[in-house]
């Protein structure tokens, strides 16, 4: 049965929360990210500031040069988290099929809802109105038969937009748009596609699958499907996650300590990223090793305090790895790392000691960069070692057990 999926994204989220709390900021060029004499970047720019060319990721100093009259605000995460919770609660009133993505974005499956509200358009208007009345924020909404098309539509409709792509018109809607509008196409993939002479999504949609596969492997097939408006991913309500883990089998059994450590570091970062995406912290870290003779062992470490930083996960894993390897002479076939005993990460930045705070800020900055430019866009020295071993794509390294390289 054809589905109706809605993608909702708040406009200029961090800035709009500040503007809702302080009317003096309304209608003005405002930037959240810090004072311009700091070395940081713009996290969110009001649409008034965007008119001057400001955008997320731009160095604050550049932003100040382009728009000296802009008001620069440090920002405060707890305010945005609270607004996010209230936003998701409004959406949950409309459909139980809700999948939050980050803080200011969500998918809703509203298949069949026209019978309740008259039309899907009316559902979207009702949602936007409640967000405006209760949060004094603007949301943009895209509606289509799949997640990917709904997301492209909401993005295109911004700000304060509402765009419905009728069933059957998906390819026609996507065709004229630049490939960079397609979710999943970052800088790197974009450049390769342009090198192949592919600029519009329509051109991508008629590129032979074999060509895309030869350049991007399995990921090429995904690009092809998305470009054709085909996406059967369900709207998934986040279940109660009990544990998160990543593992991979090596192409060849290995005793190489530095490869084991590099892989462990990479897997720890994947686990940490998901942990933070889910807004959780973990109390336990588990290392898993399978040896050449298929014997499999797990070793567990309990943290003194729950944590979600890549560094803590990796440090615990590494400690367990060192202890385990001293007692074992066989080469390793598979390595994995996992976290469990999860709790909500409710801590406020200003309540942490300086080094924990720095680590959290670093992880958060890295998460943003990776979301935008791909997982391997930023790496620690240790994981660079993997560059020569595993092929890379927009989503990170393709490990030998691809289903586990998420
Ligand atoms: P976005 O939804 O990408 O951006 P936005 O809400 O500011 O603007 P719009 O959706 O109207 O284009 O991201 C949501 C919030 O996430 C954003 O307000 C601030 C934060 N963020 C960063 O901290 N750094 C970034 O690089 C980006 C893109 C977002
Ligand atoms: Mg947004």
The secondary structure element, H or E, covering residue 342 is strand 332-344
Determine the pLDDT at residue 240.
Answer: 67
Count CA atoms closer than 13 A to 283's CA, side-chain side: 5
Burial code (b: 16+ CB inside 10 Å, e: under 16) for 14-35 equals bbbbbbbeeeebeeebbbbbbe
Q: Is the predicted pLDDT of residue 131 greater than 90, yes or no?
A: yes
CA of 139 to the centre of ligand 2 (A): 8
> Residue 160's pLDDT is what?
97
Catalytic site residue from 18, 99, 105, 394: 105
- Average pLDDT, integer, range 109-137: 94
Lowest mean pLDDT among 49-53, 120-124, 226-230, 237-241: 237-241
DSSP labels for 158-173?
-SS-EEE--TT-HHHH
Name all residues whose Cβ lies below 6 A of ligand 1. 9-14, 43-44, 56-57, 104, 158-159, 368
pLDDT at residue 342 greater than cutoff 80: yes
Query: Which atom of ligand 1 lies at the shortest distance from residue 369's CA?
Result: 26
Q: What is the pLDDT of residues 190-227, one digit of tens each?
A: 999 999 999 999 999 999 989 998 998 778 888 999 99
**Close Cβ partners of 256 (under 8 Å, ≥ 6 residues apart):** none
pLDDT over 70 (residue 400): no
* Distance set, CA 164 to CA 4, 120, 156, 167, 404 (Å): 10, 9, 11, 9, 35
- The residues, any chain, with a CB within 8 Å of residue 241's CB and separated by 6 or more, are 278, 280, 342
Q: How far is the CA of 76 from the centre of ligand 1 (A)?
A: 14
Confidence check: pLDDT of 231 > 80: yes
pLDDT at position 92 is: 95
E strands within 88-182? 98-101, 105-109, 139-144, 162-164
Residue nearest to ligand 1 atom 25, measured at CA: 43
Q: Tens digits of per-residue pLDDT, 271-308?
A: 999 999 888 999 999 999 999 887 889 899 999 989 99
Q: What is the pLDDT of residue 401?
A: 44
- 406: pLDDT strictly greater than 50: no
Residue at token pair 């959290």: 360
Residue ranges with strand state E in 119-275: 139-144, 162-164, 243-254
340-362: average pLDDT: 74
Mutate to test the pocket of ligand 1, among 13, 33, 73 (most ligand atoms within 8 A of CB): 13
Average pLDDT, the chain: 89
For residues 376 and 396, the answer to whether their CB atoms sit within 8 Å is: yes
Mean pLDDT, range 40-55, rounded to an integer:
95
Ligand nearest to the CA of 47: 1
**Ligand lying closest to the C-alpha of residue 156:** 1
Percent of the chain past pLDDT 90, that is, above it, reads 63
What pairs with residue 299 in β-bridges? Answer: 287
d(CA 301, CA 90): 39
Per the confidence metrics, is the pTM higher than 0.75? no
* 236 a catalytic residue: no
**pLDDT given for residue 403 in this prediction:** 32
What's the CA-to-centroid distance between 378 and ligand 2, angstroms? 23
Most confident by average pLDDT, 104-118, 189-203, 214-228, 250-264:
189-203
DSSP state, residue 237: P
294-299 long-range contacts (CB < 8 A, ≥24 apart) are 294/333, 295/330, 296/334, 297/324, 299/323, 299/324
Quick: pLDDT tens for 12-42: 999 999 999 999 999 999 999 999 987 788 9
Provide the pLDDT for residue 316.
97
Residue whose Cα lies nearest atom 21 of ligand 1: it is 43
- Residue whose Cα lies nearest atom 23 of ligand 1: it is 43
């Amino acid at each position: 049965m054809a589905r109706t999926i809605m993608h909702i994204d708040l406009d200029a989220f961090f800035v709009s929360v500040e503007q809702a709390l302080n009317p003096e900021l309304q209608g003005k060029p405002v930037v959240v990210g810090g004072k311009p004499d700091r070395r940081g970047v713009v996290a969110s720019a009001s649409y008034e500031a965007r008119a001057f060319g400001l955008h997320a990721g731009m160095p604050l100093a550049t932003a100040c040069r382009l728009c000296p009259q802009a008001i620069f605000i440090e920002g405060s995460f707890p305010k945005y988290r609270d607004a996010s919770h209230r936003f998701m609660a409004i959406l949950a009133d409309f459909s139980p099929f809700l999948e939050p993505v980050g803080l200011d974005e969500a998918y809703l499956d509203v298949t069949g809802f026209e019978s309740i509200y008259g039309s899907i358009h009316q559902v979207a208007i009702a949602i936007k109105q409640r967000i405006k009345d209760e949060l004094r924020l603007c949301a943009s909404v895209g509606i289509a038969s799949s997640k990917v098309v709904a997301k492209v539509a909401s993005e295109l409709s911004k700000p304060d937009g509402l765009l419905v792509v009728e069933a059957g018109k998906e390819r026609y809607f996507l065709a004229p748009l630049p490939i960079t509008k397609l979710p999943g196409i970052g800088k790197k993939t974009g450049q390769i596609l342009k090198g192949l002479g592919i600029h519009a999504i329509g051109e991508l949609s008629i590129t032979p699958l074999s060509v895309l596969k030869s350049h991007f492997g399995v990921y090429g097939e995904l690009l092809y499907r998305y470009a054709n408006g085909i996406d059967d991913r369900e709207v998934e309500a986040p279940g109660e996650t009990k544990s998160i883990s990543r593992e991979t089998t090596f192409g060849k059994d290995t005793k190489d300590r530095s490869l084991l450590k590099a892989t462990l570091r990479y897997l720890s970062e994947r686990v940490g990223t998901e942990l933070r995406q889910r807004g959780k912290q973990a109390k336990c870290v588990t290392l898993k090793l399978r040896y050449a003779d298929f014997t499999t062992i797990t070793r567990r470490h309990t943290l003194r305090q729950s944590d979600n930083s890549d560094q803590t996960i990796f440090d615990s894993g590494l400690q367990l790895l060192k202890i385990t390897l001293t007692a074992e002479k066989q080469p390793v076939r598979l390595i994995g790392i996992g976290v469990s005993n999860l709790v909500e990460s409710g801590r406020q930045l200003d309540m942490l000691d300086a080094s924990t705070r720095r680590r959290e800020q670093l992880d958060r900055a890295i998460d943003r960069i990776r979301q935008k430019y791909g997982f391997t866009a930023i790496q620690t020295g240790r994981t660079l070692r993997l560059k020569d071993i595993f092929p890379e794509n927009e989503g990170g390294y393709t490990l030998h057990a691809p289903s586990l390289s998420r």
